[in-house]
């Protein structure tokens, strides 16, 4: 149902008021306001409603930005607070749709509210937007509705999304510094070969100095880079595009994930991040009342690594055959011994969700330490690489200079 923004004046008090009203048409909206003893000063249809229904047109679609995880986290937290305060679901959805800054997400909440008003459950109303919220989000809402614990689960969902955002920031933070160092190193090497080396070679040629073999080699590389820079650039761009395209294919993603999972330095970091994400996700889903097999299926979709996905798929089959979770995960060979022992303890004490949360906390701390250790390792490695390149350039210049000095003597 369309929404209308209005500005009016109370007939009895003369006090100005404004708000949002649902109505089938502009005429019906005016009639509703008249019954509310409000004199209409200005009224127009909410453009967010049009966008939510796909009527915003081409220009409107260009202006819309897809919601980020941060937007969904804020909206979910607001929604959970309103539900905890005993606000009706319809009113809570309306308040969230009006407070959310992202236009697209606001439109989605407007549509969710309309579906709820039509009699659908909250999880069913979110289902058309599964690409935005994700399967875990929708399934947890469905489980919460059955258990009658919607406010608590919405709070856990907001905490879980914030956790995912934090993990992503840690990964980006760990990779940003090495990436910048590599880019800087490549830039310095190109500058030395393209700018410095040709000038020095011209000077030595003018002095008729006999160049040593390593200077001739570096000069040939420099000349080749200058002459064929278009080819070099094309090869570089083509390689990047090819690798990116290949990594998106099923076989490419699996091969890349397996390589990264066992890569030196970064492999340990990725393993710890993956175990942390698995533990936190499974804990959140189980605490919402989802059954173990369904919880593992949902967790498998968000661990973010094919190696772990395959391991969880194997574990799911074993759990369905009657194995306990700890035993099923142990047989995959992809989980640390400490995790298996803690899960066994959780199974014995009946505190599986709490134990999974503890595992996630332990590995979060390990991730922070690993990021600092990785950064400390990369910095001297890159400095050594840069020093090696500079040393070769210096030797390529000093050698001919020594020859020139010997000729002068």
Q: Which of 226, 229, 228, 184 is nearest to 201 (CA)?
A: 226
Q: Looking at residues 216-231, what average pLDDT do you find?
A: 81
Q: What is the pLDDT of residue 189?
A: 77
| pLDDT mean across residues, the chain | 81
Q: What is the pLDDT of residue 318?
A: 93
* Dihedral (Cα; 31, 32, 36, 41), 10-degree rounding: -60
Q: For the ranges 163-167, 349-353, 375-379, which has the lowest average pLDDT? A: 375-379
The class of domain 69-162 in CATH terms is mainly alpha
Per-residue pLDDT for 317 more than 90?
yes
Show me where the domains of the chain are located. 3-45, 69-162, 168-409
Residue with tokens 């073999």: 213
What does pTM read for this prediction?
0.63
- Angle, CA of 130, 135 and 140, to the nearest 5°: 115
């Amino acid at each position: 149902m369309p929404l209308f923004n209005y500005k009016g004046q109370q007939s009895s008090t003369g006090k100005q008021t404004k708000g949002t009203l649902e109505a089938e048409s502009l005429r019906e909206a005016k009639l509703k306001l008249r019954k509310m003893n409000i004199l209409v000063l200005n009224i127009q249809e909410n453009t967010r409603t049009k966008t939510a229904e796909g009527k915003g047109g081409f220009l409107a679609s260009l202006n819309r930005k897809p919601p980020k995880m941060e937007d969904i986290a804020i909206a979910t937290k607001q929604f959970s607070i309103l539900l905890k305060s005993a606000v009706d679901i319809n009113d809570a959805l309306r308040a969230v749709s009006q407070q959310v800054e992202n236009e697209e997400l606001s439109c989605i909440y407007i549509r969710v509210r309309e579906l709820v008003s039509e009699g659908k459950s909250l999880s069913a109303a979110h289902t058309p937007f599964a690409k935005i919220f994700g399967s875990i989000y929708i399934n947890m809402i469905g489980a919460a509705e059955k258990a009658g614990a919607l406010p608590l689960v919405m709070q856990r969902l907001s905490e879980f999304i914030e956790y995912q955002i934090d993990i992503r920031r840690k990964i980006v933070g760990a990779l940003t510094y090495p990436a910048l160092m590599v880019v800087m190193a490549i830039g310095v090497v190109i500058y030395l070969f393209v700018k410095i080396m040709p000038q020095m070679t011209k000077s030595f040629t003018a002095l008729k100095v006999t160049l040593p073999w390593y200077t001739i080699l570096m000069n040939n590389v420099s000349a080749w880079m200058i002459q064929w820079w278009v080819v070099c650039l094309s090869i570089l761009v083509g390689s990047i595009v090819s690798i990116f395209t290949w990594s998106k294919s099923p076989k490419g993603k699996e091969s890349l994930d397996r390589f990264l999972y066992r890569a030196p330095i970064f492999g340990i970091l990725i393993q710890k991040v993956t175990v942390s994400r698995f533990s936190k996700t499974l804990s959140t889903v189980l605490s919402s009342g989802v059954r173990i097999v369904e919880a593992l299926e949902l967790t498998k979709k968000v661990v973010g690594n094919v190696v772990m996905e395959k391991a969880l798929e194997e574990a799911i089959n074993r759990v369905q055959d009657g194995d306990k979770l700890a035993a099923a995960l142990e047989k995959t060979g992809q989980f640390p011994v400490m995790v298996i022992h803690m899960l066994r303890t959780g199974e014995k004490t009946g505190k599986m969700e709490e134990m999974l949360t503890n595992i996630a906390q332990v590995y979060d701390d390990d991730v922070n330490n690993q990021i600092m250790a990785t950064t400390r390792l990369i910095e001297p490695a890159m400095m050594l690489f840069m020093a090696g390149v500079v040393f070769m350039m210096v030797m390529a210049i000093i050698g001919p200079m020594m020859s020139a000095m010997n000729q002068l003597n």
